[in-house]
Amino acid sequence: MVDQITMPPRAAYSVILTNDFMVILRDHGEIVSVREDADAVLEHLSCTIPGGLKRQRVYVEEVPGGDGFYELKHQYGNLDVVDQCSSHQGGHLMQLVSSEVEDGHG
């Protein structure tokens, strides 16, 4: 069995911490299904992000470069449900990503 702490569930993603309460996990095309990969993603983030995922929301790009996102709802890193974000919310998340990248934090 692969150790999730030393080896991420996939290699082609980046994490953006937009503030103390949100994580945006950017998909670069390696996820086959967000729903199938969500548990492994949350487990890896729980072990690698300072402070863990206790109060943070996690969003994953539906399509690389697009404005669609899924929200991985969880309790302390344990997945509850995967919800597709509305187009309005997805657009707002893309603005956050863009501002983080422009500010040099992404």
3-state secondary structure of 86: coil
Decide if 23 contacts 13 (C-beta within 8 A).
no
For tokens 């500010």, the residue is 103
Give me the pLDDT at residue 59, please.
93
Q: Would you state the structure tokens that stand for residue 69, as one six-digit string?
A: 């996102």
Short-list 30, 23, 105, CA closest to 70: 23
Hey, which residues does 14 pair with through a beta bridge? 26
Give me the pLDDT at residue 85, please.
94
Give me the pLDDT at residue 104, please.
58
Give me the pLDDT at residue 40, please.
84
Q: Average pLDDT of each block of 10 consecutive residues along the chain (106 residues)?
A: 51 79 82 80 84 84 82 90 93 86 60
Give me the pLDDT at residue 11, please.
60
Give me the pLDDT at residue 22, please.
87
Q: Give the number of other Cβ atoms within 10 Å of residue 59's Cβ.
A: 22
3-state secondary structure of 89: helix
Q: Would you state the structure tokens that stand for residue 42, as one six-digit string?
A: 């949350």
